[in-house]
Structure 1
Amino acid sequence: MKVVERLGSSHGWRLERGFLADGREVFAKSGVVSPLFTSEAAGLRWLGEVMDVPEVVEAGADRLVLSWVPTEPPTPVAAERFGRKLARMHRAGADAFGAPWPGFIAELPMDNSPAPDWPAFYASRRVLPFVRQAAALTAGDRDRVEQAAAIFPEISGPEEPPARIHGDLWSGNVLWSGGTGVLIDPAAHGGHRESDLAMLGLFGVPYLDRILGAYQEEHPLADGWRERVPLHQLHPLLVHVVLFGESYRGQLMRAVDRVLGLRR
């Protein structure tokens, strides 16, 4: 690959734009040897069966090369188109809660081994492991999060089959291109579709109301989904506490209080 632009770094990886010998424009992420690259590639291919994602050109132990995605400003029409496509992706489903590849979010490993239901998967694979890694949490904070995890079966809403989800769907992982949203940097697995939607709302994706409206028309959400948003935001907030420390502790603990308040 001929590098034409160095795009900086993220989580210790080099990010570059370049061209292959055949003229294709590509994006490359490289750095330390890690199963993250092949894990991300597996997730992109899986999501790409039903959703707009970059093509995986190469995936190895120390690099990932993807087709370049030219970006454009988001529009209400693009947001609605993205909402409908996201609903169809979720509806495509998964074989289980989990995935047959190792999980990562940023550089942090995640256990993707299957669990019998979503509350068990979410507690044991997504929430409790990060509580133990979050040095900024006090012993009292950890107790509160563990209390919340204990009631997940009571407050998670109607049972749903595993959805095909992105798993790290904050606004920066949606590129606007070709009149819709294109997904990048997935932590893809079989999960709960409300998790992707809660993550979209966490850091302010453009035209969220249009995305949700179109999604609802395509694949209506179960009653009470808005009240469950803090439940699905626990994992990404915990990840931010692990990565960035005290600055996200207050937001996490406010979400924990709201989750505990869902118990009737």
Structure 2
Amino acid sequence: METVVKERADAPPGFYEAEAAGIGWLAEAGGAAVARVVAVSPCRIEIERVAQGRATTDAAHDFGRDLARTHAAGAATFGASPEGWHGPLFIGRREMPRNESTAWGEFYVTGRVLPFAESAVSAGNLTRAELAVVREACDTVASGRFDDDAPPSRIHGDLWGGNILFGPRGVVMIDPAAHGGHAETDLAMLSLFGAQHLTHIIDGYQSVAPLRTGWMDRVPVHQLHPLAVHAAGHGRSYGVALVRAARATLSLAS
């Protein structure tokens, strides 16, 4: 079996262990495939290499179906860490707060949007005036305006197109920021960064888990998190996009 090794001499405590815990937790769901961890240590993780395959519409459909099954495996609460993991959580190289709540909106704002939006201001990628718009949108989300009765889903948490690989046996997920969240957040991230055959992924998803009415309208709400993360470290354009999503959120709520 061929493998891929990722190493960081300066990795913060728990960095690769958190990734391994997330992979294991997603794999236990028995839904979408995840690249298997071969070995993990504080500064290194070794994962099976996913051979390149054709990005077919059938594979995309099957991935959507299997992703719905992963989500359905659930989590203890919104913000829950992978079962058995008590260390820090990360998205990319950035640490995510370990906050939990029985209310999705409260968790999402305090743990997934505002901390990164504030970092974006420090990075010079978001102005104070723009942060005020983001905060206003966050207040609306935290109020429960977009909460529903869906239980916490077991989500990948960083599901952009680069983290789904089309292999010979179908799609395999890599590099999760796994936690208990809302299923629509994973789908919104796929939409944000242009996953291949997205319409077929959505069709496959809905074949086993029909999405709630208005889910497409709510995409900007669920993109606040990835946009805030990117605004914190990947340039001014993401700050502009974050404010645009915040304004769309306010418009949807009005």
Alignment partners' CA distance in 2, 1:146 and 1:247: 19
**Counterpart in 2 of 1:191?**
181
Per the alignment, residue 29 of structure 1 pairs with: 6
Give the unaligned 5+ runs of structure 2: none
Query: Is 1:209 the equivalent of 2:188?
Result: no
Q: Which has the higher contact order (CA 8 A, sep 6+)?
A: 2
Q: Unaligned regions of 5+ residues in structure 1, if any?
A: 1-23
Answer whether contact 2:68 2:209 (CA < 8 A) is retained: yes
Runs of 4 or more, structure 1, over 3 Å off, are: none
Report what 1:122 is aligned to.
108
Could you tell me how far 1:154 is from its partner in structure 2? Answer: 4.1
Contact 1:155/1:262, CA 8 A, preserved across alignment: no
Mapped pair 1:234 → 2:187 = no
Contact 2:117 2:231 in 1 (8 A): no
Change (3 A) 1:125 1:63: same
Higher strand share: 1
- Larger radius of gyration, structure 1 or 2? 1
Instruction: Find the aligned partners of 1:97 and 1:249 in 2 and give their Cα distance.
Output: 26
**Secondary structure at the counterpart of residue 197 of structure 1:** helix
Same amino acid, percent of matched pairs:
43
Indicate the residue corresponding to 1:134 in structure 2.
120
In structure 2, relative to structure 1, the CA distance for the partners of 1:112 and 1:178 (3 Å cut) is farther
- Residues 1:91 and 2:68 are matched in the alignment: no
Cα distance in 2 for residues equivalent to 1:155 and 1:63: 42
Match of 2:167 in 1: 177
Question: How far is the alpha carbon of 1:157 from its aligned partner?
Answer: 4.6
Q: Which range is displaced more, 94-103 or 219-228?
A: 94-103
Deviation at 1:116, TM superposition (A): 2.3
| Corresponding position: 1:75 with 2:56 | yes
Q: Shift of the alpha carbon at 1:93?
A: 0.5
- Report the 3-state secondary structure (helix = DSSP H, G, I; strand = E; otherwise coil) of the residue aligned with 1:134: helix
Q: 1:154-165 to 2 correspondence within 5 Å?
A: 154-165=144-155
State the Cα distance separating 1:33 from its structure 2 match. Answer: 3.0
**Aligned counterpart for 1:61 among listed residues 37, 42, 48:** 42
Q: CA RMSD in A?
A: 1.2
- State the distance in 1 between where 2:96 and 2:201 align: 28
TM-score (norm 2): 0.91
- Aligned mates of 1:176, 1:112 — CA distance in 2: 31
Say if 2:103 and 2:147, in contact at 8 Å, map to a contact too: no
d(CA) in 2 for partners of 1:211, 1:156: 24
1:149 matched to 2:138: yes
State the 1:103 CA deviation: 1.3
Q: Distance in 2 between matches of 1:66 and 1:183?
A: 12
2: CA distance, partners of 1:59 / 1:147: 41
Q: Look up the match of 1:261.
A: 251
What is the CA-CA distance between 1:223 and the residue it aligns to?
Answer: 1.1
* Corresponding residue for residue 21 of structure 1: none
- Alignment coverage as a number of residue pairs: 241
Report Cα offsets for 1:135-180 as digits up to 9, x if no partner.
3211111111110011113431522100000000000000111342
CA deviation vs aligned residue, 1:214-242 (integer Å, no higher than 9, x gap): 11111011111111000000110111111
Alignment partner of 1:210: what SS? helix
